[in-house]
Amino acid sequence: MTQSERGIVAFFMAWGVFILNAAGGYFSWYSSIWWYDMLMHFSGGMMIGTVALLFAFSFHMTWFGSSVAPQYVRILLPIIFAIIAWELMEFTLSSMGGDIFHIIDSISDMCLGLSGALFVLSQTSVIEPLRQ
């Protein structure tokens, strides 16, 4: 996938996740459809993984003196940081709203987000440098 195609996919995924999140809040799908939260965390992880790949390959930097594609660690760390930051924001907003915090729900949300990002990474050839 070329860099411009990856940018188009990231743009539409970001808007899709935003629209589905807004619709889920407006129509109360998060509380009425039991799997909607799981779908949103998985698709959010896919979006974060796509954006992380976009940024990882958009900067033509040298990594420790050699111009190769970034390794998985340099792509996974921002993904993990974004997923944890999102869960911290959810925890803060839900505790301010008076909801009861469930650690199992947060752990499953983080696992679903990470699995969505890993799904995106598994569909690309991250190890080899892009030739486009």
What percent of the chain shows pLDDT beyond 90? Answer: 42
What is the count of structural domains for the chain? Answer: 1
In a domain, 131, yes or no: no
- 5-11 mean pLDDT: 84
Indicate the angle between helix axes 36-58 and 3-26, nearest 10 degrees.
Answer: 150
What is the tens place of the pLDDT at every residue in 92-131? 888 787 777 778 888 999 999 999 999 988 877 654 444 4
- Are 53 and 76 in contact by the 8 Å Cβ rule? The answer is no
| 41 within domain boundaries | yes
Residue 127 counted as domain residue: no
Of 52, 30, 56, whose CA–CA distance to 41 is shortest? 30
Exposed, middle or buried: residue 131 (CB in 10 Å: 0-12, 13-18, 19+)?
A: exposed
Q: Output the pTM of the full model.
A: 0.80
User: What domain range is 105 assigned to?
Assistant: 3-59+67-122
Q: Does 114 reside within a domain?
A: yes
Q: What is the mean pLDDT of residues 73-81?
A: 86
Q: Does residue 129 form part of some domain?
A: no
Q: Is residue 128 part of a domain?
A: no
In a domain, 130, yes or no: no
User: DSSP assignment, residue 40?
Assistant: H
Assess if residue 93 is contained within a domain. Answer: yes
